[in-house]
Amino acid sequence: MPNIKISPSILSADFSKLGNEIQDLEKAEADFIHIDVMDGHFVPNITIGPEVISKLRKYTSLPFDVHLMISSVDNFIKSFANAGADIITIHPEATKDLVGSIEKIKSYNKKVGVSLSPQTSVDKILSVLELVDLALVMSVNPGFGGQKFIKGVLEKVKILRKEIDSKKLKTVIEIDGGINFENAKLAKNAGVDILVSGTTIFKENGGNLKKNIELLKTG
């Protein structure tokens, strides 16, 4: 099993003190900071934009793992790249030219991710796996935190793991949505490299970030 990394989702953080929350996550040995960007159009919720991300950048040196749930995504890639995103993940449905959007992200020297919603076939991204750094499998329907984990998406993880390993690609697999201490084990066994978790990290064990991150990594 690979060395599992944790990308805490700040969707579950206290938005009145986001900078401090991010600093606490770094002290708790998080590997990334996962930032969900929603536009109220591609998904039925609105979160934060590039200006907030640029203000948060000074609080940590951890990579910003930015998941864009917006359309048309090409109009916003430059703004998020300039705001301080390190990884920019997009949905195939949010662009008319997936390869073109991937190349656009790379042109800003950023890592690229592609995301699969629960209803999206894994076939949508198999052809671009060798072009991207990260494949994000959504284990809830995108839009809101705190949802129940959809176990069936683990089949997509297994397919991706097999494809990546057989072609000896460096692409990593991330899973996001309803991750807790129990299903994290299932995700790791299926072949995930990075766990995104919000509610579990911020709420379990009295909000002990370090303990919860460690339990997700090693449990």
Is residue 105 a contact partner of residue 112, using CB atoms and an 8 Å limit? yes
Query: How far apart are alpha carbons 185 and 173 in whole angstroms?
Result: 15
For strand 33-38 and strand 5-8, is the pairing parallel, antiparallel, or unpaired?
unpaired
Is 65 assigned a catalytic role? no
Query: How far apart are alpha carbons 62 and 164 in whole angstroms?
Result: 26
Residue with tokens 């991204």: 125
Catalytic residue among 31, 39, 133, 176: 176
Please name the amino acid found at residue 191.
G
Query: How far apart are alpha carbons 117 and 137 in whole angstroms?
Result: 7
Please name the amino acid found at residue 164.
I
Is 36 assigned a catalytic role? yes
Catalytic residue among 31, 36, 39, 133: 36
What single-letter DSSP state applies at residue 53? H
Query: How far apart are alpha carbons 143 and 102 in whole angstroms?
Result: 23
Q: Which runs of consecutive H residues, i.e. helices, occur in 57-97?
A: 77-83
Q: Which residues are catalytic?
A: 36, 176
